Chain A
């Protein structure tokens, strides 16, 4: 599965589930880039059906509905949607 790693300051595990076509996902990537943190992301719309179902299963542990972008931080904090202040506050509290 195509999970991309983006280099930056390692402040913990940051996983972004995104769509390649979605403007809010692009804004989320841009925000993470500007904060200069290390993170991983996957563009779910570019996956095969099987891989997509894997992601669906993975995400179902966190949220009741698949929506993008979804950020999972340190396997405990879930932020659905581009919520700039929430994302900033959470990452800054981790040392971003």
Chain B
């Protein structure tokens, strides 16, 4: 397994921090801790071809892991409830030391995992008209025949989108 240099990790961290803050989120201010997670993300990218959540085990394929590619589908829910994501890479503005002192419950369950294995984008638009797509990472909605290549708000890839309906 490839080892990353301190400079490579630092560079990736700076880029991620800038990108994160630009979109209104924030990284854990404990720099040493955050650099450790960044290293794990880079390791996972080497290993699996995508940035699997460092705190979760792969199910063996990108399709099965879609909901736990960082930033995961659960980040915003955990930021709202616990002030931080599962790994504590992302934190809310008023996160407390107490909230950063240990693990939080795993929000993901097997059912969600299986759902994410279903290819979302093959869904036909039965009602006719233009379908609405929802970014599972940040909630961005757009109406167009297909989802965008990357989410214009958070940068998540096309396969992180699902069909959205009010029903």
Q: Are A52 and B57 in contact (CB under 8 A)?
A: yes
Distance, CA A31 to CA B103, complexed state (A): 14
Who on chain B is nearest to A85 by CB?
Answer: B102
CB neighbours (8 Å) of A80 from chain B are 103
A15 contacts the other chain (CB 8 A): no
B110 within 8 A of A: yes
B103 touches A81 (CB 8 A): yes
Cβ contact of B57, chosen from A24, A26, A68, cutoff 8 A = A68
* A19 interface hit (Cβ, 8 Å): yes
Question: In whole angstroms, what is the CA distance A17 to B40 when docked?
Answer: 18
Cβ of B58 under 8 Å from chain A: yes
Q: In the bound complex, do residue B54 and residue A19 qualify as a contact, i.e. CB atoms below 8 Å apart?
A: yes
Residues from chain B with Cβ under 8 Å of A19 in the complex:
54-57
Interface residue A83 (Cβ < 8 Å from any Cβ of B): yes
Which residues in B have their C-beta under 8 angstroms from that of A67? 103, 106
CB contacts (< 8 Å) of A44 on chain B: these are 57
Known contacts: A26-B36, A45-B58, A49-B60. The answer to whether A21 contacts B44 by CB under 8 A is: yes
Most chain A CB atoms below 10 A, which of B40, B57, B101: B57
State how many angstroms separate the Cβ of A33 from the closest Cβ of chain B: 16
Q: Is the pair B106, A21 in contact by a Cβ cutoff of 8 Å? A: no
Residues 26-64 of chain B: 1 if any A CB is under 8 Å from the residue's CB, otherwise 0? Answer: 000000010011001001100000000011111010000
Residue A84 lies at the interface, judged by CB distance under 8 Å to chain B: yes
Q: How far is the CB of B91 from chain A (nearest CB, A)?
A: 13
Bound Cα distance from A25 to B88, whole angstroms: 13
- B34 → chain A closest CB, angstroms: 9
Jot down 8 A-B pairs with beta carbons below 8 A, ordered by A.
Answer: A21-B44, A23-B33, A23-B55, A24-B87, A65-B106, A81-B104, A81-B105, A82-B103
- Extra inter-chain contacts (18) besides given A23-B54, A49-B60, CB under 8 Å: A19-B54, A19-B57, A21-B43, A22-B40, A22-B87, A23-B40, A23-B55, A24-B103, A44-B57, A45-B58, A66-B57, A68-B55, A68-B56, A68-B57, A80-B103, A81-B103, A82-B102, A82-B103
- Chain A residues packing against B (C-beta within 8 Å): 19, 21-26, 44-45, 49, 52, 65-69, 80-84
Interface residues, chain B, CB within 8 Å of chain A? 33, 36-37, 40, 43-44, 54-58, 60, 87-88, 101-106, 109-110
